[in-house]
Structure 1
Amino acid sequence: MAPTTETLTAERILEATEEVLRRYGPAKATVVDVARSLGVSHGSVYRHFRTKAVLREAVTRRWLDRTTEALAGIVAGDGDPETRLRDWLAALFAAKRRKAGGDPELFATYRVLAGEAGEAVGEHIGELIGQLTVIIRAGVDTGAFTSADPATTAAAVFHATDRFHDPCHAREWELPEIQGEFEAVVHLVVRGLRAA
């Protein structure tokens, strides 16, 4: 039985949109395709997302939020800050690699969408740097790290490790030496943060 507008939720629309994007790619996927896959009219989709651009931004935001949510547990953890920082950076790298290698069609689609969704991407980066700030501040508070401004330091750490989470480097993530290079950069970053 096809869903009615009463049972149609934003979450169901986003799931369907992800499938349509995977199948057709960002250039060919339409709101009509999404509606057809749900068995509703395109007007029903527009009741939840007023334009195609808004729908695409919502799908992008949902995809980015999965990474942020996965890292939140590490931020909230009670381990020592150095271990949490190492674990957070490793988890971010692993999540990005999984997305790139596990579903390359969808990853390529999201790279296109992320280019369109500047606000969502900017907020995502801000959230990630905010998570790093919490960890670095905890390190300063315990005397494990030294930093006059944890937020500025967090942004520097994020940008210093860019090669291991920015999708523009995705091709490099499958190189045999990438794990060793990642570990070397993380070691250098942590050493630089340690209190004298």
Structure 2
Amino acid sequence: MAATEPLTAERILRATEEVLRRHGPAKATVVDVARALGVSHGSVYRHFRTKAALREAVTKRWLDRTSEALSGIAADADRDPESRLRDWLATLFAAKRRKAGDDPELFATYSVLAGEQGEAVAEHIADLTGQLTRIVAAGVDAGAFRAADPEATAWAVFRATACFHDPAYAPEWKTPGADADFAALVDLLVQGLRA
């Protein structure tokens, strides 16, 4: 990055991600981030008051990438709720699998950071279950789904599919039967929701 490029929060977060990739969460410091940017660590602290705030922001940024990929599906009222639900679940699984497979070191780093950043993770889960709630509620309104409480139903669907999006299960996503297991679970959930 050019030294003349303005120091922005986004630039700091990109550099932090690279430092985390290189050093891991245990050894990455604000000084390392500042060094990568060619600035003083005080300059980084002007954007992020503490190391914890920087780590939370980079974790939130990472989690938001998944939420953003799913929000368009959840909001697409022109599609029938069943196909939206299927696509949403498949996109979530694919996004998590891609993160784990494309850059396993960074995925492991973010898994550690997510464990430290309870608030960012809680917000992420609330966003995802909120998206699912909108899909389930749309299905109920259209007469396609049966659910007395769309929010509770969305939470149940989210929990039932945890083995396909919770990072703790990442090693299982590479197994030969993972896609078939995922398809069977989604079929079962959709059949249970149908009115």
TM-score bin (small chain):
over 0.9
Residue 70 of structure 1 aligns with which residue? 69
- Structure 1's unaligned 5+ residue stretches are none
Residue 180 of structure 2 aligns with which residue? 180
- 2:172 corresponds to 1:164: no
| Count of residue pairs brought into register by the alignment | 193
The residue identity in structure 2 corresponding to 1:103 is D
- Structure 2's unaligned 5+ residue stretches are none
Residue aligned with 2:182, SS: helix
The residue identity in structure 1 corresponding to 2:146 is T
Q: CA deviation at 1:76?
A: 1.4
Runs of 4 or more off by more than 6 Å in structure 1?
none
Residue aligned with 1:148, SS: coil
Residue 8 of structure 1 aligns with which residue? 7
CA-to-partner distance for each residue in 1:150-182, whole Å, 9 max, x for gaps? 001000000000000000000000000000000
Q: CA deviation at 1:48?
A: 0.3
CA-to-partner distance for each residue in 1:121-157, whole Å, 9 max, x for gaps? 0010000000000000000000000011100100000
Distance 1:168 1:124 in 2: 16
Please say if residues 3 and 39 of structure 1, whose CA atoms lie closer than 8 Å, have aligned partners that are also in contact: no
- 2:40 corresponds to 1:41: yes
Distance 1:182 1:2 in 2: 47
TM-score for both structures, normalised by structure 2 = 0.98
- 2:79 corresponds to 1:79: yes
Distance 2:46 2:56 in 1: 16
Distance 1:164 1:119 in 2: 22
The residue identity in structure 2 corresponding to 1:111 is S
Residue aligned with 1:176, SS: coil
Q: Please, what is the CA RMSD of the aligned residues?
A: 0.8
